[in-house]
Structures are given as structure tokens and as C-alpha cells.
Structure 1
């Protein structure tokens, strides 16, 4: 593997401090592969090959909003889906295909396998990971939980199967706020992991007693409050869409705080022509498809002197390519394998969330009044 094709990455690596009120961060180091840029004719040939392989292998492609637009288009064209991490896993579980191909990062493939243990789950690149996952090692997190046995353990979907297996609840940020509010109303204290920004957002909204693991998403952590304020000055009529993994100074300026799916829905429904978007730029493809005629501007991650003002794209999501997708299907490479007992334990907190979501959806109905229903977006926080 050529060093020219490798990108070195630094991320937050919390060090748990049992008995303390939180934990401190060191710097973790990882890498990501940079896919080869292929000419158009070769890309078209690969897409045709992938369509044939999906049919041959009785497979369905599920892709996250943050992967390359061509992979998103292939998923849509071939009867797969493009969604957030939970919906990807749920779609795969309910689809009759024998093989699920997950274009995303490793925890998404693991979640798909947890919900579909009898299916083969392939990924274009098993090394595609996530700073939140890397920054919450299972053994360190288990020690942190053991030091606080009086707390209900709530973990974000962006975690390994082993971390999920240690939790009472798994949440996405589209439902994390509701679940924590529910637990708080029952008088429960929360141990939250791994994203400190999302955890702090939910804590502010609910008033819950929350002990936060100090992880962060290396993409969302780079959004800058002062730069966003300057950009809003250039587009005073623009609505600001923010993923709650972003720092508080960015969240505070949002018109809508929500998951990837919720941000897309808001862009479709809100009466605005311009939107500033503070999440991974991969979402812009779906935003432009769902809200044609509207303008989407990437929120800034750096100041005026930087060579890239808006560089918000996960390096591990970028590892998903047409070439390694075709290779995974043709050779059966990149299979997610989980110990069945671990998978069964990890499924318990996921099922708890799904049951809660089903109960919540039965109790919530849109009024049909857009002005009233828009308020639903105001305080919800995705995967």
C-alpha cells in the first residue's frame, strides 16, 4: 500500500478516569485510504459490473448519506436505500436479499449484522472506521461504566458492537433526546457515550444528570462558530441546518438541529431558498435531489487563511469506492463477522430503542399545519 494513498488522521482518544466526574482526552492516531480517481469510462464500466453482481449475489446495496454520490445513486437505482445508519440496518433487516452490502463505516456494517445475523454483510472496505468508534475502546468504556454503576448507560449508534453490548440503550440522535428525556423523567442518571457535543446538547435540552464520555466526530468538531457567524452575514436570509455532533457555538446558531434525515426533511419543508449546512458534505447530493431549486452552502470548518474553507468530509466514508464495492461483491471480501453471543447482547439496547420509537410514532401525528409542524424540528437532535 503506497504511502501516497494514505491519509494520516488525529482524533480525540478519551482516557477514562473512574471516580472522576468525566474523562480527559489524549490524541489518537489513525489512517484512511485515499481511493484512486478513475476516468469516467472506467467508472461507468464498474457501475454496470456492480449492477450485475448485485443481481448475481442476491444482494442489496445500502449507503449512507455521506458516501460518494455515485454510490448513493447506485443504491437508489438498484432497489437499495440511502439513509442514516439506523435506517440502513433496518432496511437491510426487512429486505429479502441474502447479502447486504453496506457502503459506510464499520459500525454501520456491524449494526446491520446485529439486526440481520442470518445474512451475509459485506463492506467495500473493512478498514473504514469512525473517530467516535475509535475514541471509545470497549475495555476502557466498560471500566468507566463499572465505576458508575448507578447510571443508565446510553450509547450513540456510532460505536462498536462490544460497546453497544455494554449499554442499556443505543440511540441515534434523532431519538436520543426523547429517550434521555424519558429516562430523566423516571429519575434515572445517565452515563453517555461517546460524542460529547451531542451529549451536551441533549443535556441542555433535557436537564438530565449526564456523565459524558469525551469523544468527538473529527468532521463535526471542526465547524467554527465565528466563521459560521460571518457566513450568515453574507447570506442573511439563509436557514442554518446543523448536526448536533457540532460544537455548541455552531449549534447555538442553528434554525434546525437534527439528524441527517431530519435535516433533509427540514430543507424540503421550510420556506427558504438558501441553507447553510453544518454536517458532512456528502449530504449535499441528497439535499439537492430532494429540494431542487434551493441553494445549499457548506458551513465553514476553517478561517480565511486556510486553503479549504469547508472541508467537512469524513476520510473513512471516502474510502468507499466503486472499485472496492465491485471487489467485495465479486470475491466476497470485506465480510462483517460477529460472535453470535456478542451480537445478541448488542441487539438488546437496539431493540429497546426500536420499541421506544414504535411507541413514540404511534403517539405522535403531524397536524398538517406546516407552521405548527415546523416546531417539531426545533429541538430534536442522527446518525
Structure 2
């Protein structure tokens, strides 16, 4: 197999000091690019992974944005492919004592917080997230301390330590409903880290929200002007948009929603063509859910411009067949969460889960879109 390469990844880094007024700078991180196995190597690796999962009584949970082979393996071996919330809930409720999380690090941490007695492994512990990188714990804590009158609500795409400082953790499936609930109680909100998702919720609820100015490397790159031009070329296409996207992209959407909701929309809406503004890893599941329909990536760059992510998260791409097999065989890359941080973080997570249970919220797509009406009243998990 070919050796891995390291690439530099640029992302927007908020500067959330009292004098910055939400300024930002361009920061750099890095991502590994896994080697691409040959078709023969791929079959050998898949068989090896299936054997190791069975031998270790482990279960594989994968996000919609990871490589299609990993998504297929998760379903073929009794695991699940889903959004970040359902990944953690599935792992918590599954009898397996070893969870293998194919995604980014905050997903592994959330799984460990919900299942502290289980072993949680990841193909690559360095798979991170621009939202997480852009919301360091010390800066976030200082920001919260400067606004003690506000209820702290954080998105799932944050570290365990940030969740431990929050009053509520939300996924986008329940975020709008929870903020509306808090707004009805007269609460003022401190929201972190995604400014686009926070702005969307603020606009929908009218809540008093102070926003951290983070953004998702992938979704922030979708371009409203270029999307409008593409829609002229495909006038019958429905536009499906994740709410971490900029406002001028969201404004053109036929459906704004999470990964789960966008898959449900692709399956059930009366259209044969869709333009999709989220990580293109989701297209594998969309094509499976809606065979015969056409899916087009929303544009991430204008004419002669370049893109940073090209609609695919460089850290989600770090999950591969080879490192998945290696971690199962070696037991390396185990997620550990400090016990005190875990005890604090579970409070904010449990508040969300209890709220969702009270509302009987459904975050999984089903075959009948008419039954998804309540789900589409908000927006879904990343």
C-alpha cells in the first residue's frame, strides 16, 4: 500500500476577546490522507475487519460523512450509519462492550461520555473538526464567565470539556426547539460554536443569542451566488441545505435540515434531481435511499477559485479501511475522557436527551415524509 501523506488545512479561527467583536483569522491544522487500497486489498481488509469485529464482540458506528466502504461495513456487521447523536445513542444502547467510532474525535468523546464503562476506539484520534478547533476550552470558559447571565448552549461539534462548561448540549435536530423553549422562559442564550447554525436558530426563534463565531470548514464554503447559477442550469432540482451553511445558501433551500432530514427529503420529495449543500459523503446514503435520482454537489468555489474542503471534511476522510483494521487488531486509539469532565458533560447531554424524550423527538429518517412533519419543524443533527 502507498504511504500516507499529510496535508495542511486552513480554517477560520474566531478571536473571541472582549475587544475583538467576533473577529477571526485564518489558522492552519493538518490532516492525514489515508492510502487507497487496491480492489483486491480492499476485499482482504473488509474480511479482516468483519472477523475482528466478530471476535471482539465489537460494533462499528459510522457517520454519514465517512468513506462509503466504512458505511457499508457498519450496516453489514450490525452496526449503524447515522448522525452524531444517533451514533452515541446506538452505542449506548447496544450490548457490545467495544464501540468503534468512524467519525471525528468529538463523536468518540460523546460516545464515551454516554457509555463510560465501554471501550471506545477510533480509526484515527487526530481526526478533528474546525468547529472544535475554533472553540478552545480556556477561551470559551472566559467568554462564558464574562456573560454569567446567559444560559450556555453548545452544539455537539465541541470537545468534552466545552460540553462540561455548558448548560445544554444540542444537536441541530433539537436545537431549535430547545432554544425556543429557553426563550419562552425568558432566558438569554450564549451559543457556541457555529455562527451560521446559531444565526439560523436565532432568526427562527427570535431569542436573545450571543454567538460564538465559529464555522464548519465544509459548510462555510458553499457559495450563494454560484448556487443560484447552478440552479438555473437545473431548474427542476430541489436544493437541500445543512444549516451550518451561510445565509445566502440557506435562503435558496427547498429543505434546510440535518443529515438525517436531508436523506429523508431526498427519498421522499417529488423530484428526480437534487443539489446538496452538505458534506458529499452523504451522497452514498442518498443514492441508496433514492436509487434513480440524481445528486449534485453544491458549489464551494466560484470561477477560477479554489476550495479548502471541496465539500468533503478532510478529517472525516482520515477514516479508512486500513486504520480501522489496524485499530481493531492493536487496540490502539482508545478514547479517554477525564472522569470529572465526563460527569459534568453528561449533565448538558442528558438535558437534551430528556427534552427529546419528552417531545418524543424522532431523529431517524423514515420512509413516509408526511410522518416527518415534527422532525422538519426544527433542524437535525450534524
1:285 aligns with 2:284: yes
Indicate yes or no: 2:215 matched with 1:209. no
Task: Answer yes or no: is the 8 Å Cα contact 1:244–1:381 preserved in 2.
Answer: no
SS of the equivalent of 1:82 reads strand
Q: After superposition, give the CA deviation of every residue in 1:287-336 in whole Å (9 maximum; x if it has no partner).
A: 00011121111111012324779920000000000000001100001100
Alignment of 1:211-290 (within 5 A): 211-290=210-289
State the secondary structure of the residue aligned to 1:174. Answer: helix
Does residue 340 (structure 1) correspond to residue 332 (structure 2)? The answer is: no
What is the CA distance between 1:175 and its match in structure 2? 0.9
CA distance in 1, matches of 2:112, 2:31: 23
Which structure 2 segments of 5+ residues have no match? none
Question: 1:175 corresponds to which residue?
Answer: 174
Residue 178 of structure 1 deviates from its aligned partner by 0.5
CA contact (8 A) 2:62 2:101 kept: yes
| Residue aligned with 1:354, SS | helix
- Per the alignment, residue 67 of structure 1 pairs with 66
* Counterpart in the other structure of 1:318: 317
1:207–1:362 CA distance, 2 compared to 1 (3 A) = closer
Helix, strand or coil: the match of 1:267?
Answer: helix
Tell me the SS of whatever aligns to 2:226: helix
Change (3 A) 1:59 1:94: same
Match of 1:113 in 2: 112
Q: Show the counterpart of 1:88.
A: 87
1:109, 1:123 within 8 Å by CA — same for their partners in 2? yes
Helix, strand or coil: the match of 1:244? Answer: coil
How far has the Cα of 1:201 moved from its partner?
A: 0.5
Residue matched to 2:359: 360
Q: What's the Cα RMSD here?
A: 2.3
Kept in 2: contact 1:257–1:378 (CA 8 A): no
Q: Write the deviation string for residues 78-110 of structure 1: whole angstroms up to 9, x where unpaired.
A: 000000001000000000001000000000000
Q: Is the Cα contact below 8 Å between 1:270 and 1:374 reproduced in 2?
A: no
Closer/same/farther in 2, CA of residues 251 and 187 from structure 1, 3 Å limit = same
Q: Alignment partner of 2:280: what SS?
A: coil
2: CA distance, partners of 1:309 / 1:133: 17
* 2:264–2:369 CA contact under 8 A, matched in 1: no
Aligned length, in residue pairs? 379
User: How does the TM-score come out when normalised to structure 2?
Assistant: 0.95
Measure, in 1, the Cα distance between the counterparts of 2:215 and 2:231.
Answer: 25
Secondary structure of residue in 1 paired with 2:172:
coil
Unaligned runs of 5+ in 1: none
Secondary structure of the residue aligned to 2:228 is: helix
> For residues 306 and 222 of structure 2, what CA distance do their matches in structure 1 show?
15
- 1:12 corresponds to: 12
Rounded to whole Å, the distance in 2 between the matches of 1:163 and 1:310 is 25
Using the TM superposition, give the Cα deviation of residue 373 of structure 1 relative to its aligned residue in structure 2, in angstroms: 5.8
1:237 offset after TM fit, Å?
Answer: 1.0
Relative to structure 1, the CA distance from residue 307 to residue 207 in structure 2 (aligned partners, 3 Å threshold; closer, same or farther) is closer
In structure 2, C-alpha distance between the alignment counterparts of 1:349 and 1:285, rounded to whole Å: 32
Task: Call closer, same or farther: CA 1:184–1:124 in 2, change over 3 Å.
Answer: same
Matched, 1:157 2:123: no
Task: Assess if the C-alpha contact under 8 Å between 1:243 and 1:278 holds in 2.
Answer: yes
- Whether the aligned pair in 1 keeps the contact of 2:104 and 2:129 (CA below 8 Å) is yes
Residue number in structure 2 paired with 1:331: 330
Q: CA deviation at 1:380?
A: 3.0
Q: Structure 1 residues 335 and 381, CA, compared in 2 at 3 Å: closer, same or farther?
A: closer
Distance 1:375 1:166, change over 3 A: closer
